[in-house]
């Protein structure tokens, strides 16, 4: 977070009317908001401004939001909130896979947008704890650097995936419900439809060489949640 008293948000949205009310609404709630309306100008703006939060539309002229999200992750580590077309689940999934932290579907509801913004910024400003490392056989998870090693080799995972892995691994052997995961990781109540946690766990299983058909490392406990098996990493 920047030292400025007002968190700085960069909004990348080409719909003029939508952009105007988002800008006015967030400004009225104490945020400093910059706005650009072209995808091909986004990366330069992100790199120059390093905003505390990026709100990124998917459908943009000259460069789409998915490409911007993916490419910005090479130099930008703050939260990304994507705006996706209503009911387009594929947009939501792809955005999360490319490094977005959360998404809001259009038509955008003001109070929901504000709640997501607050949750992302609150999570991002929590003081980082002393670096901690978890070891399970051949699996090494380093909280301070968000690095994961399996059999001595680094595992490439997104920050979203790391958050899920850390939460499960730090409570190894305990069943964590989907509701609890959504509440802790996204700062919102589980509505029974949110699939973002399932997506992250599915990708983690593939990257950590779990059996996706019959998982034995990150187990699904039917009707209860997920369980990280501490003894499955030899």
pLDDT at 2: 46
Phi, psi of 149 (to 5 degrees): -125, 135
Number of domains composing the chain: 2
Lowest mean pLDDT among 30-34, 171-175, 182-186, 216-220: 182-186
Proportion of the chain above pLDDT 70, given as a percent: 88
pLDDT at 90: 66
Mean pLDDT of the chain: 85
In this structure, is residue 151 part of a structural domain?
yes
In this structure, is residue 2 part of a structural domain?
no
Residue 172 sits in a domain whose CATH number is: 1.10.10.10
Q: Annotate 47-60 with b (16+ C-beta within 10 A) or e (fewer).
A: eebebbbbbbbbbb
Whether residue 177 is found in the same domain as residue 194: yes
pLDDT surpasses 70 at 129 = no
In this structure, is residue 1 part of a structural domain?
no
Query: The domain containing residue 186 runs over which residues?
Result: 133-228
CB-neighbour burial class of residue 79 (10 A; exposed 0-12, middle 13-18, buried 19+): buried
Each residue of 25-70: pLDDT tens digit?
A: 999 999 999 999 999 999 999 999 999 999 999 999 999 999 999 8
Each residue of 92-122: pLDDT tens digit?
A: 677 777 788 888 888 899 999 999 999 888 8
Whether residue 54 is found in the same domain as residue 83: yes
Whether residue 182 is found in the same domain as residue 166: yes
In this structure, is residue 233 part of a structural domain?
no
* Residue length of the chain: 234
Whether residue 108 is found in the same domain as residue 191: no
Whether residue 12 is found in the same domain as residue 119: yes
Residue 34 sits in a domain whose CATH number is: 3.40.50.2300
């Amino acid at each position: 977070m920047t030292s400025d008293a007002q968190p700085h948000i960069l909004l990348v949205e080409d719909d003029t009317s939508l952009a105007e009310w988002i800008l006015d609404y967030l400004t009225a709630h104490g945020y400093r908001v910059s706005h650009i309306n072209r995808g091909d100008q986004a990366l330069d703006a992100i790199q120059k401004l390093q905003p505390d939060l990026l709100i990124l539309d998917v459908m943009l002229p000259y460069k789409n939001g998915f490409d911007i999200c993916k490419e910005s992750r090479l130099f930008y580590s703050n939260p990304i909130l994507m705006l996706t077309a209503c009911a387009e689940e594929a947009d939501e999934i792809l955005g999360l896979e490319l490094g977005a932290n959360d998404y809001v579907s259009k038509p955008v509801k003001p109070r929901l947008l504000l709640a997501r913004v607050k949750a992302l910024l609150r999570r991002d400003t929590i003081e980082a704890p002393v670096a901690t490392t978890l070891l399970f056989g051949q699996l090494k998870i380093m909280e301070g650097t968000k690095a994961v090693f399996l059999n001595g080799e680094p595992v490439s995972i997104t920050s979203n995936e790391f958050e899920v892995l850390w939460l499960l691994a730090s409570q190894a052997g305990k069943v964590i419900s989907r509701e609890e995961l959504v509440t802790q990781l996204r700062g919102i109540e589980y509505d029974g439809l949110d699939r973002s946690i399932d997506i992250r766990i599915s990708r983690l299983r593939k990257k950590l060489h779990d059996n996706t058909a019959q998982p034995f490392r990150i187990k699904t406990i039917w009707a209860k949640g997920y369980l990280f098996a501490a003894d499955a990493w030899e």
